[in-house]
Every structure is written in C-alpha cells, then in structure tokens.
C-alpha cells in the first residue's frame, strides 16, 4: 500500500476517535516487504516474496489506554477498531498511566536510512550467490555432507506514527541477511551440525572467504567432541555465546520489569552490580549499526546512555509510562512489543577491552571456552538469574584452545557471572537483537560450574 | 474470502508457466485477549487480520508469495511473479474448482468471541485474588486469557476447495513466590478447542492453589544435583521431551532432506519395547486438533512408534515428493505468511502397564520431574535440553526433597532406548510449537515414564 493511503486511513481513525469518547489517540502503521531465497542440493528450493501492512490504534478514555489492530483499511475497519478499543478501555483498571506524546519542538520526526544498495537484492542475485555459497561450503572438507539450510533474505519497512497531539513520525530501515547451516559426519559416523550468518545492507559487501572460514571453524572444530569432567572452570564466553547469554537477562534492566516486581535490579540504580571492567551501553545511533534509531515508537528522542558503567548499574531503560511512575524522564526506549508499547534497547554495546580472544584464553590458562548455549528460552530463570544450559565449546589447555567438548551444562547465576568477569576482549561482533543489534566481544569469567562426566 | 472465479484466475496465472501444482491459501483470524497482574487489568487487546498465500511447486522447487492486501489485482500480480520464478520442465494440469466443503474440529457450545471481556476479567480475578491472599510468599500473580478463531480456505490446481474453521481459548495463571532475592514460579496454561464452557467448568481455585504450592516449594528448594541418574518424568507436559527429541525428527521437514537421525529407519527398532506413540489430530475439542490440514488434506490419527518400532513419519506435500510417499494430513502453518510444512498435532506416548507409584517405588535414587518447562533439540545430532519447572529427588523409592534449577540433556535417539517403565496415567497438555512454518498450537502428552539414565545439569555435586 502507498504510504499516502495509510496516512489517509490513520487520519480518519484519529478524526473519528473523538466520537467514541477518546480524549487522545494514536495510529501506528508498519509495512513489511520481504524476499527470501533458499538453496538445497544445487537448486533454489524455495523463493518467498511478501508485503504485509498493519495499523494499530491506541486511545485514551476514562483514564485507560485501549488497543486494537487490523490489517484492513476500510470504513468498516475504522468502526471495528474504535469499538473494540473502547470496549478494552471499559475493562482496564491499570493504575499506571500511559501517554500519547508529542514534543512541541519535535512534532515532525523523519529519518530514512534506506540503502541505495537495496535494489541489488534480486531473485537472480540471491540465487547465484546462494548456489555459489553452497558449492563452496561443500568443497570445504569431505566431512561436510550437506548444507541443510541456506537462506538469503532481505526486508525493508517504514513505520509511520500519527497522533491526536500532532505527532507525525516516520522512520524506515532495510537489510539483507545470509544464513547457512550444515551437517558434517566423522569417520566414526558421529554427526555435528553448525552454522553461520551474515547481516548487512549491501549484498556486495558479503565476504565469502571470511564467512567460509568462520563456518568451517564452527562445524569442523567440533568434530570428535566429547564431554569433560564436572567442575568449576575459568570460562571464556565467545562473543556469540556472550551475546546469547546477555540477551536472556537484558529484560532485567527494563523499568517495566522492575516496577512489576520481576527484576532484582529494582531500586538499585547507582549500585555496583558487576565487575569494574564491564560497561554495557544503549547506543541508538551507533556508528556501524545497520539500524540507527533517533526516536522511539512514542515519539521521544533517543539518547546514548550507559546501562552498566564500569560495574555500576547506571540506569534502567524507561518508556513514558514507566518513567512517569518513577518520577523521571523517558530514556527513549518505548517500542512496540506485540501490539502494545513496551521497553526495548536500541543498539546494545558491551564496551570492548584491549585483549584478543587468544589473549583471553592465555589469561585463563586452564579452563573452558563456551561457543554455543542451547535452551535459553527454558533453562534460565530470568528473574532470579539462575541458569543451567546445554553448551558446546573447547577446553583451554596451557592457555590455548584444546579439544572440543559437548554434552555438558553450564550452571550458575547471571548476577554472579557479571560480577566475575575478569577481562573483556576486543573481538567485537554484531548480531541483530532488540530494535537494532547487539555488539559484544568475548569475555573471560572466573568459576563457572560445568556438569559433564562424573 | 475471494470469489471462486477470482481464485480460479489466480490459479490460472500461477499454472501458466512450469508449475505442476499451485495452491491459494486464504485466512481470516480474530483474536481477543485480556491480562491481569495482581488483580489489575493491565492489557486488553483485539485483533483482526486476513491475508492470502500462493504456493507453486515444480517437483521439489517451491515458490511462495503472500500479502495481506486481498485485492485481486495485487494477488494476480504476485501470482504472475511467482509463475516466472518457478523452475519446472513443463506446464502442469489445472482442474476446475470443486464445490466448497466445510470442516471443523472445534467443539463449541458457547462461542468465546461473543463473551464480553468483562466476564473474562471477572473469571481471571478469581484466580488473581485467591493467589495474592494465599500466602505471604506469593508476591505476584499474572492471569490471562486469549480467544481466537480462524477461517482457513485452501484451493489448489487439482480442484480442491475446502474451508476449515477453528476456535481456540487459552488460559494462563502464574503465581510468583519471593524469598529474599529468589523468585520462583508455578504455572498452569491449559488450552482447548472447546467453547467458553471450558472456562465456566475450569476448577480455577484448585488450579491456582497448585500454582501457589509449586512456586512456594521451588522458592524454598535447594539446587538440583549434577550427574547422570535415573529420571522419572511426570505425565502431561512431561511429553514435551518426546515431542522435541523424537517428534521433530519424524517430520518430513528434516527426514525429507536426510537431516534427521531417524532417516531411513521405518520398521526399525528406535525405542525400547515399552514405547508406543501417536500423533492424533482428530481428537474433537483438543487444543492441537484440526479436521482439515493447511494443504486441504483430512487430518489423521497416526501411529508413530509401536512397541519401539518406527511405523510412520509425518509427511506434507513437499515432503511426500522428497520421500516418495503419500502426505499424512499433517501440513500446518502459523498463518498465511508461512508456506506450510509437516508438523505435529496432539503427540503422545501411549499408556503402558506400570502404576506410577510403582515407578517411583522401583527407583532407588534419581530425579522426579513433576512439571517440565520448555526445551529444544537439534534433529541432525539429537542433542536436546529441557528444563524442569518442578522437581524432587527420589531416595530409596520415595519422593524426597524438592530441587530447583534442573536441566536434562542428552541425545534423542539414546533416551528413547533408555525408557524402561511406562505408566498408565496418560495426560495431555497444551503448548505452542515453533518451527519452519511458524508457531502452531500442539498438545504434548505421556503417562509417567522412567528413563534409566539422563545427564542432569544442576549446580550441586552429590
């Protein structure tokens, strides 16, 4: 749909809302245009293309904010949305006020970051690249038996927000991603799987050689893995593993979780909660971020801030509702979570240190490297911080990466882990997360409980 | 929904080049939900969405296009693009659409979509108020209910023209107990394809009390031990391990590309003698059921494993082409924005002969997982991991102290062979399953079973 048509529909929705008793209201439009090519056994196995749009409405009436969403843009849809949102207001009795917002000095917000390179994302380009990549992966080593999943995807989408206070906010983004997952078989018949991904906004910048090297390490390095003895280990979490680990607990820094009694960080801003060498920032306009975010989904301008500053819990992340409850200003972290406004980081950054990955291993001396964590949606208690997770990796022997390990669990507590970080590496990577990306290096942690062979 | 003549036009365009099969999937869904935190209604939402997916096949080459703009010209243009992208060898046959057939596996007396939200709020408040007053250790309680219905119409180049209606309700009650810095939860989340009468009949006070008891037990519990031991898995949601560690590896999605440790194992012994299992989508009113699958095939009651021997895979249209066998009526998708693929429905280990009490009594030392949480599996290697939400030690054949933080890990193909006792108390429990074609409602189930040895990843050495 053309943006203009969406705008007309939204204007009508906002104009009609007063008739249903809404004192303030907002319409939120998102458009998602995607394309995906999958390769299997020397052929395009799947090609997908899509366009989907939706509008969600929120309106303030009798002290409550009612929501409704639809993918239809008709006069009947206007009636349906306003009636439903009104019914929702009638049953709500939330004590904490939600806001429709417009900064008088920033009524018109506009930020377009669509890349010129997006037009390179054609079916034929993806197909050629995918087939070449599959061929190169299979040529890496005779033990690699299949590339079970190889997908090249791109997406672009604008977000338009209009409200009854005069806010007119537009932002958009695009991106392209590649993922390959393959299967290898050792001479003894044992099977290992592994994958690697790439994200960017220009397909020409895809570094095939670097991708193959990393993928090869991810899968062939695991061959011959076996369990190891249970015990407490000095542990290097690789950048990817540490990103996975942090993502499971980042919700504890959201003011919404704290105010619901679902985070142990409540009322602890200013307190030392982590190691001196650990700094975690929310950087909306991070220089190398693919998705820069100058304002949030409530029309609040975003700012760079340390969440944990040299171990001190500097600030939680707030949207307008949680900030009002705490008697402070929003941090510009109000973003849509499903249909409702929640809290989300923009681009997260673990500030890197000086040491390379190899130097972290050397510092550990004897220990373990964790490269993959499984079951993060189940094996963690996000509130208490307790975790027990299936993981894979390598032993560290004499300060160097040793034999691969599997069928082990790492167990402990998030709050203990961040206190026990003794060194932050310099090998920063970026992985899509939250509204943007998570940038993190590897870290060395003292004393992680590993369960393996008795 | 589109007129038959418009659907026929789309199929005409889709089949105009080299596709041997084309399908138009239309969907309309409505949903309404409310959620309470500590008896306050903090969320109430309503959604309506509709969209169309067009799939073309040429052998195992698949093109899928979708949009939620249901304008016929938009869809014809998408079909045209798809027809140019498909890579077949010759033009396929196109049959005329048959008369529309309707089906439904719902068992609804009171339509949940017609119930005022205020009634649902009153119901949820009973749970919330009761839990908050239950004990000083219970500090938060979240309660929510979501109702949705879906009308899905499948039409294809073979003339198939079917419409399937489903209506589902899911309730969740979660009590959180706090002790110092420790917080633990107890949760129930039943789901059904019955109507609002399910809510009216639900023993809400009894179930809320169970949630509170679990949360309080776990907040007072010590850490689970580490190491290999016998594990008794309670009935109901304990079946999630079978679902993950075995069920996914039987789907054509992985078997069809030989990315499953059960590839080419039909007729072979893959589990111990005491294990039989089914995937039955035909149970009227059950959360994971459906009458017609998302490719328009009739659903089935499929025997997966009989006395340890692998009997059937779960096969969809694309999988049937890769595996050279017939589809089994198990093709599903979250919505029109996913191409369908082979998925589970109501999957369970069948009843055995052991009394659950005897299973505990026959276990000298081990772990009893009375309530399982989620987990995941790698179908190529079999590596799985699961978290226990509530667990107890078993000592001298008796259930002993509660323990928390237990994760079970292992290889799917090994655990099936290590099941040495199966109880006679089969129960099913609702869940959501995420895979290639999105998140779909499923039930998992089993009687109480014992696995002779699993690695438990806890924090304390014993």
CB contact under 8 A, B410 and A407: yes
In a domain, A226, yes or no: no
Q: How far is residue B445's CA from residue B140's CA, in Å, rounded to a whole number?
A: 29
Span A382-402, average pLDDT: 93
Residue A144 touches partner B, C-beta closer than 8 Å: no
For residue B348, the cross-strand partners are B278, B445
Give the closest of B117, B228, B378 to A454, CB-based: B228
The answer for B250, left when phi > 0, alpha when psi is -120 to 50, beta otherwise, is alpha
**Which of B36, B49, B142, B385 to mutate: most A Cβ within 10 Å?**
B385
Determine the pLDDT at residue A284.
Answer: 98
Q: What is the per-residue pLDDT across A206-239, written as a single tens digit (0 to 9) for each?
A: 999 999 999 999 999 999 999 999 999 999 999 9
Q: How far is CA B456 from CA A44, A162, B227, B387, B418, in A?
A: 42, 53, 5, 10, 15
The answer to whether the beta carbons of residues B156 and B144 sit under 8 Å apart is: no
Token pair in block for residue A141: 């080593």
Span A171-181, average pLDDT: 96
Q: What is the per-residue pLDDT across B319-359, written as a single tens digit (0 to 9) for each?
A: 999 999 999 999 999 999 999 999 999 999 999 999 999 99
Angle between helices A208-220 and A123-138 (to 10 degrees): 40
On chain A, the residues whose CB falls within 8 A of the CB of B381 are: 191-193
| φ, ψ for residue B191, nearest 5 deg | -135, 155
In 3D, which of B305, B310, B318 has the Cα closest to residue B257?
Answer: B318
How many Cβ atoms sit within 10 Å of the Cβ of residue A11?
A: 12
Q: What percent of chain A has pLDDT over 70?
A: 100
Among A220, A240, A270, the domain boundary falls at A220
Span A66-75, average pLDDT: 90
Residue A386 touches partner B, C-beta closer than 8 Å: yes
**Residue keyed to tokens 């943007």:** A436
ipTM > 0.90, yes or no: no
Residues A162 and A239 in one domain: no
**Which of B226, B238, B254 to mutate: most A Cβ within 10 Å?**
B226
The answer to whether the beta carbons of residues B178 and B137 sit under 8 Å apart is: yes
Residue A62 touches partner B, C-beta closer than 8 Å: no
Total domains in chain A come to 2
CB contact under 8 A, B455 and A123: no
Name the minimum distance, in Å, from the CA of B41 to any CA of chain A: 5
Q: How far is CA A330 from the centre of its chain?
A: 21
Residues A108 and A132 in one domain: yes
Residue A398 touches partner B, C-beta closer than 8 Å: no
Contacts of B81 (CB under 8 A, 6+ apart): A49, B65
The answer to whether the beta carbons of residues B282 and B301 sit under 8 Å apart is: yes
Average pLDDT taken over every residue of chain A: 94
Name the band, by pLDDT with cuts 50, 70 and 90, for residue A454.
low
Name the minimum distance, in Å, from the CA of B66 to any CA of chain A: 5
On chain A, the residues whose CB falls within 8 A of the CB of B64 are: 46-49
Residues A370 and A263 in one domain: yes
Residue A77 belongs to what domain range?
3-220
In 3D, which of A448, A432, A368, A435 has the Cα closest to residue A401?
Answer: A368
Residues A13 and A133 in one domain: yes
Determine the pLDDT at residue A303.
Answer: 96
Q: What is the CATH number of domain B4-220?
A: 3.30.2290.10
Q: What is the DSSP letter of A224?
A: T
Residues constituting chain A? 454
Q: How far is CA A117 from the centre of its chain?
A: 23
In a domain, A225, yes or no: no
In a domain, A202, yes or no: yes
Contacts of B133 (CB under 8 A, 6+ apart): none
Residue A34 touches partner B, C-beta closer than 8 Å: no
| φ, ψ for residue A348, nearest 5 deg | -95, 140
Token pair in block for residue B149: 């219905």
Residues A194 and A280 in one domain: no
Task: Kindly tell me if the per-residue pLDDT of A262 is higher than 90.
Answer: no
In 3D, which of B407, B365, B415, B363 has the Cα closest to residue B389?
Answer: B407
The answer to whether the beta carbons of residues B242 and B446 sit under 8 Å apart is: yes
CATH at residue A179: 3.30.2290.10
CB contact under 8 A, B405 and A66: no
| φ, ψ for residue B371, nearest 5 deg | -140, 125
How wide is the angle at C-alpha B23 spanned by C-alphas B22 and B29, nearest 5°? 160
On chain B, the residues whose CB falls within 8 A of the CB of A148 are: 257, 259, 380
Task: Kindly tell me if the per-residue pLDDT of A378 is higher than 80.
Answer: no
CB contact under 8 A, A88 and B66: no
CB contact under 8 A, A389 and B385: yes
Q: How far is residue B297's CA from residue B25's CA, in Å, rounded to a whole number?
A: 13
Give the closest of A41, A339, A411 to B47, CB-based: A339
On chain B, the residues whose CB falls within 8 A of the CB of A43 are: 60-61, 87
Residue A61 touches partner B, C-beta closer than 8 Å: no
Residues A133 and A22 in one domain: yes
In a domain, A381, yes or no: yes
Give the closest of B48, B68, B184 to A52, CB-based: B68
Contacts of A93 (CB under 8 A, 6+ apart): A64, B40, B41
On chain B, the residues whose CB falls within 8 A of the CB of A51 are: 67-69
The answer to whether the beta carbons of residues A158 and A31 sit under 8 Å apart is: yes
Tell me the count of A-B CB pairs closer than 8 A. 229
Residue A88 touches partner B, C-beta closer than 8 Å: yes
Q: What percent of chain B has pLDDT over 70?
A: 99
Contacts of B140 (CB under 8 A, 6+ apart): A260, A261, A262, B37, B38, B175, B176, B178
Determine the pLDDT at residue B461.
Answer: 52
Q: How far is residue B211's CA from residue B235's CA, in Å, rounded to a whole number?
A: 17
Span A238-254, average pLDDT: 96
Residues A68 and A190 in one domain: yes
Token pair in block for residue A18: 């007063």
Residues constituting chain B? 462
Span A13-22, average pLDDT: 96
Q: What is the per-residue pLDDT across A97-146, written as a single tens digit (0 to 9) for each?
A: 999 999 999 999 999 999 899 999 999 999 999 999 999 999 999 999 99
Which residue ranges in chain B fall short of pLDDT 50? 462
Q: Is A343 helix (H, G, I), strand (E, B) or coil?
A: strand
| φ, ψ for residue A415, nearest 5 deg | -70, -30
Residues A180 and A321 in one domain: no
Which pTM value belongs to this model? Answer: 0.90
Residues A213 and A235 in one domain: no
CB contact under 8 A, B226 and A183: no
The answer to whether the beta carbons of residues A44 and A80 sit under 8 Å apart is: no
In a domain, A356, yes or no: yes
Q: What is the DSSP letter of A301?
A: B
Residues A66 and A208 in one domain: yes
Determine the pLDDT at residue B460.
Answer: 62
Strands A168-185 and A191-200, how do they pair? antiparallel
CB contact under 8 A, B47 and A451: no
Domain with CATH 3.30.2290.10 in chain B: 4-220
Helix (H) or strand (E) holding A444: strand A443-451
The answer to whether the beta carbons of residues A1 and A53 sit under 8 Å apart is: yes
In three-state form (DSSP H/G/I as H, E/B as E, the rest C), the secondary structure along chain B is CCCHHHHHHHHHHHCCCCCCEEEEEEEEEEEEEEEEECCEEEEEEEEEEEEEEEEEEECCEEEEEEECCCCHHHHHHHHHHHHHHCCCCCCCCCCCCCCCEEEECCECCCCHHHCCHHHHHHHHHHHHHHHHHHCCCEEEEEEEEEEEEEEEEEEECCCCEEEEEEEEEEEEEEEEEEECCEEEEEEECCEECECCHHHHHCCHHHHHHHHHHHHHHHHCCEECECEEEEEEECCHHHHHHHHHHHHHHHEHHHHCCCCCCCCCCCCCECCCCCCCEEEECCCCCECCCCCECCCCCECCEEEEEECCEECCCECCHHHHHHHCCCCCCCEECCCCCCCCEECCCEEEECCCCECHHHHHHCCCEEEEEEEEEEEEECCCCCEEEEEEEEEEEEECCEEEEEEECCEEEEEHHHHHHCEEEEECCCEEEEEEEEECCEEEEEEEEECCEEEEEEEEECCECC
């Amino acid at each position: 749909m053309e943006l203009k048509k969406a705008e007309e529909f939204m204007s009508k929705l906002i104009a009609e809302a007063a008739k249903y008793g809404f004192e303030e209201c907002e319409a939120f439009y998102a458009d998602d245009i995607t394309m995906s090519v999958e390769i299997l056994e020397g052929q395009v196995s799947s090609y997908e293309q899509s366009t989907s749009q939706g509008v969600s409405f929120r309106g303030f009436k009798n002290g409550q904010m009612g929501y409704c969403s639809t993918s239809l843009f008709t006069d009947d849809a206007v009636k349906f949305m306003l009636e439903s949102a009104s019914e929702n207001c009638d049953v709500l009795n939330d004590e904490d006020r939600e806001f429709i917002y417009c900064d008088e000095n920033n009524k018109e917000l506009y930020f377009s970051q669509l890349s010129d390179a997006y037009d390179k994302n054609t079916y034929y380009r993806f197909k050629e690249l995918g087939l070449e990549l599959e061929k190169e992966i299979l040529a890496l080593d005779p033990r690699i038996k299949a590339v079970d999943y190889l997908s090249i995807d791109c997406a672009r989408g604008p977000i338009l927000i209009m409200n009854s206070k005069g806010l007119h906010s537009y932002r958009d983004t695009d991106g392209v991603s590649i993922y390959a997952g393959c299967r290898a078989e050792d001479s003894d018949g044992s099977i290992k799987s592994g994958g690697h991904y790439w994200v960017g906004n220009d397909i020409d910048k895809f570094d095939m050689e670097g991708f193959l090297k990393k993928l090869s390490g991810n899968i062939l390095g695991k061959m011959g893995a076996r369990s190891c003895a249970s015990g407490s280990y000095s542990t290097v979490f690789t950048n990817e593993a540490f990103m996975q680990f942090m993502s499971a607990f980042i919700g504890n820094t959201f003011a919404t979780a704290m105010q619901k009694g679902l985070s142990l960080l409540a009322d602890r801003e200013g307190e030392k909660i982590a190691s001196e060498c650990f700094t975690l920032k929310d950087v909306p306009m991070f220089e190398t971020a693919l998705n820069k975010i100058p304002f949030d989904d409530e029309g609040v301008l975003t700012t760079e801030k340390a969440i944990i500053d040299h171990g001190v819990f500097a600030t939680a992340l707030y949207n307008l509702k949680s900030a009002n409850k705490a008697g402070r200003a929003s941090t510009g972290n109000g973003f849509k979570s499903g249909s409702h406004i929640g809290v989300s980081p923009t681009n997260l950054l673990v500030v890197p240190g000086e040491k390379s990955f190899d130097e972290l291993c050397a510092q550990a001396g004897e220990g373990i490297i964790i490269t993959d964590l499984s079951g993060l949606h189940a094996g963690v208690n996000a509130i208490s911080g307790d975790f027990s997770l299936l993981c894979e990796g390598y032993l560290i022997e004499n300060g160097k990466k040793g034999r691969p390990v599997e069928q082990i669990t790492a167990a402990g507590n998030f709050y203990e882990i961040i206190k026990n970080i003794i060194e932050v590496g310099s090998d920063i990577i970026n992985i899509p997360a939250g509204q943007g990306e998570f940038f993190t290096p590897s870290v060395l942690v003292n004393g992680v409980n590993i369960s393996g062979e008795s | 929904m589109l007129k038959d003549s418009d659907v026929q036009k789309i199929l005409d365009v889709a089949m105009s080049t080299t596709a041997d099969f084309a399908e138009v999937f239309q969907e309309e869904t409505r949903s309404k939900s409310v959620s309470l935190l500590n008896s306050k209604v903090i969320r109430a939402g309503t959604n309506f969405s509709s969209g169309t997916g067009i799939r073309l096949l040429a052998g195992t080459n698949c093109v899928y296009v979708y949009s939620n703009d249901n304008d016929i010209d938009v869809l014809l243009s998408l079909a045209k693009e798809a027809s140019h992208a498909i890579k077949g060898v010759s033009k396929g046959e196109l049959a005329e659409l048959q008369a529309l057939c309707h089906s439904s596996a719902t068992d609804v007396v009171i339509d949940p979509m017609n119930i005022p939200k205020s009634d649902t709020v009153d119901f949820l408040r009973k749970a919330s108020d009761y839990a908050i007053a239950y004990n000083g250790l219970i500090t938060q309680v979240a309660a929510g209910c979501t109702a949705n219905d879906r009308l899905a119409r499948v039409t294809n180049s073979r003339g198939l023209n079917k419409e399937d209606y489903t209506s589902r309700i899911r309730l969740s009650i979660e009590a959180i107990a706090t002790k110092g810095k420790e917080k633990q939860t107890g949760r129930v989340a039943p789901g059904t394809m019955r109507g609002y009468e399910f809510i009216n009949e639900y023993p809400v006070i009894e179930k809320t009390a169970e949630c509170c008891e679990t949360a309080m037990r776990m907040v007072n519990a010590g850490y689970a031990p580490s190491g290999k031991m016998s594990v008794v898995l309670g009935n109901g949601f304990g079946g999630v391990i079978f679902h993950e560690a075995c069920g996914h590896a039987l789907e054509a999605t992985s078997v069809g590309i030989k990315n499953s440790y059960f590839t080419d194992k039909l007729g072979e012994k893959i589990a111990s003698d005491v294990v039989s299992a089914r995937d039955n989508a035909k149970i009227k009113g059950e959360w994971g059921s459906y009458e017609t699958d998302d490719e328009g095939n009739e659903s089935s009651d499929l025997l997966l494993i009989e006395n340890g021997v692998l009997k059937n895979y779960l096969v969809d249209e694309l999988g049937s082409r890769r595996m050279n066998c017939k589809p089994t009526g198990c093709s599903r998708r979250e919505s029109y924005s996913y191409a369908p693929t082979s998925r589970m429905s109501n999957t369970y280990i069948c009843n055995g002969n052991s009394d659950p009490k005897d299973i505990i009594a026959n276990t000298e030392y081990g772990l009893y997982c009375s309530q399982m949480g989620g987990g995941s599996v790698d179908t190529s290697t079999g590596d799985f991991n699961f978290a226990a939400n509530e667990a107890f030690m078993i000592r001298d054949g008796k259930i002993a102290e509660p323990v928390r933080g237990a994760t079970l890990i292992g290889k799917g193909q090994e655990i099936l062979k290590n099941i040495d006792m199966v109880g006679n108390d089969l129960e099913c429990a609702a869940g959501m399953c995420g895979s290639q074609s999105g998140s779909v409602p499923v039930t998992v189930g089993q009687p109480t079973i014992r696995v002779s040895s699993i690695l438990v990843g806890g924090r304390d050495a014993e």
